[in-house]
A and B are shown apart, each in its own frame.
Chain A
């Protein structure tokens, strides 16, 4: 296998995620443009103009190119299982120079920037083993401004699902204009503290407008979208009808004593892209 070629594929994956938004996100922003007026409309227009310019000029749409985050579905029969992690790390270093990306990895103790978007535990890679011999990698570069508004609620089970809904609505309203609304809200309910947040982040991979398969959960998603958008926070917190583009919920079973709610806030730039790498090293970015 030509490892250098696979690395180039992963660089293209990162470039695609940083410079082009998925069509479902663009479609929902265009819908927001149609319903907004005045200042709110100017904000959505700037976002849409920016998306077009970034794609055309192949430059990152936002200066915050995020923490490099990858979800890997790796077939257990893929012949080079042990190579993928290193290829991702090397691709991130290379992409930092070649795309370029803003160096976003800082040591919490010394304040020193690692300058290549790698460092302890970064890039952040989540592994999922599957059947088969292919690898699928999803890139989800995650910006700091929206991540700062994420929250963990260790609620008392007695508050029930109504309490969960109120927690989500209150926190998104408290975040106001800070996370670059209109946002996408990912919520993980159940599990332990870490699993709830993980599910919240993973739910951002679901395209905008796709509801949870469970009817009851899908109705709660719709109710939350409506309640949050009625707050009037609007694009960039300057007032308007669109505060969230979508709310995605995922659930895990929970401990009888715990009701964890992981709330992950994502800015309008819900950047994601995929690559499939075959066992012979051929790749395709989409």
Chain B
């Protein structure tokens, strides 16, 4: 368990030091004997599975919660925070995952909101504020214009405004909670540049994430949290993503690799000449044809926004299309969504909150969603509450959905557990064909391994799977057949047994035809 090859031995007092932090909620311990030492001028990443206690720890550090035991020191001085205001006064700032900006105000107005500089005691001194924002923006290379409206800004810039807001209040230590979750790849790179600039100027960054690749790329030190306690602090130079993941889950990690082929020659789903047009008549899915056989996983690789979402929605009957879709030889292209589902098309949607869940409904009602006409959920026109509850209990047990019960709202579960519930639901009732769109997006590694296992098992039992993913390892590891989609067309077939993620990556961008 204890892996503690702390590489960086800070000479000065650490910017933040936590010793023996324990936080109990009635009956439980959320954080237990946490030890963390963040050196000044470093990017220190904190990684851990969903629910491992990262949030509790950050709330303690930011003064939102008070620890029951242990000592917090900032710059070598023992501190005790009663509220975030105390933390801010001590130079700690927090950039939340969800931005807290007013769209209809300018950057300047957003930044000074709540700590407006005063002129003559009453008027707001906009000139002074503008000057200070410009100074900060220039000093750290944030490139933020104080006078534009926030609604006109992209996600990456908004995040820089959030950072600026924290710096404006005098923070020397920044906590970033999952900052990359909302960013696209090039924005992530920009963010990392900004963070490096910040530490170059002597600031300290604490970075929470579960994207291990990113953490390895940007952090100077990484602390792993598992089940409420810090299990190791490692040097990113001497650890692999795989080793980190193993530290997070505390066991050897299963790989997505599928060993032997279970592909049969029975075609489950056949798509011929499928075309989807955008409202302006441009084809977003352009003359796509493929077959998925029973026991086969067909992977579709592609940079997001190349027609994957539209392809999925066309197959589900949620979007108008031309061309033929045949399920077990039967033309279903004019069927409504419900009939397709009844015929055995299962669907793990890309955005589970938007398409897959009723967040404010109990788990057992979520079990019914998408299966409103099937047993054990209904008897004729009546909802079979007992049957649905029983089967939800089964899914919770078989698919290891971590929940205190089936009566809690779906919103109360972590992303990984929500996804396991959806996977369990869609695997119920003997589906013929499954669309799995980004099935492990935004879930922790433990849930990811479990979901891969379930997909593999279903495939072995003869399920045909259309896998759409942005995770190249997942695509290569799970797929029997792999196709590349680019601007709505299937442009290449690649052999998942021999292709490398690098080759696949270049095929996706249209750089060259893969084998």
| A in complex with B | no
